[in-house]
Amino acid sequence: MNKFEVVLLYSPELGSNNLQKEIDKFSSLITNTSGSIHQTENWGLRDLNYNIKKFKKAFYKFFQVEMPKDKINEIKIELNQNDNLLRYLFIKVNNHQELPTKLNYEKK
């Protein structure tokens, strides 16, 4: 099993209920592909450096995930079909960083 840190950017038009449904959908996608989520962090609604699909803001969600490397492409195919997801980023790491992250400290 490999360790990944994942950042998802969701549409600012989602309400809190719909945002939670999207996060739950991602969590079940990870667990259905033999993975596990160790920790999550909500970075909230933040400004984007450039417009993505005509949006200037997005909801940021951070995950620390452990899963087989060969399942990444399956997950990316599913994520590409989600209209509420603006961007995603998977970063392979040796060890997960300690939470809360520095970005979360800046928000406070």
Mean pLDDT of each 10-residue bin along the chain, 108 residues long: 94 90 94 92 92 93 93 92 95 86 63
Task: Provide the pLDDT for residue 105.
Answer: 60
Task: Provide the pLDDT for residue 108.
Answer: 52
pTM exceeding the 0.85 threshold for the entire prediction: yes
| CATH architecture assignment, domain 2-107 | 2-Layer Sandwich (3.30)
Cα distances from 21 to residues 16, 17, 18, 70, 84, in angstroms, run 9, 6, 5, 26, 11
Q: For 29-85, what is the HEC assignment?
A: HHHHCCCEEEEEEEEEEEEEEEEECCEEEEEEEEEEEEECHHHHHHHHHHHHCCCCE
Domain boundaries, the chain: 2-107
Task: Provide the pLDDT for residue 104.
Answer: 65
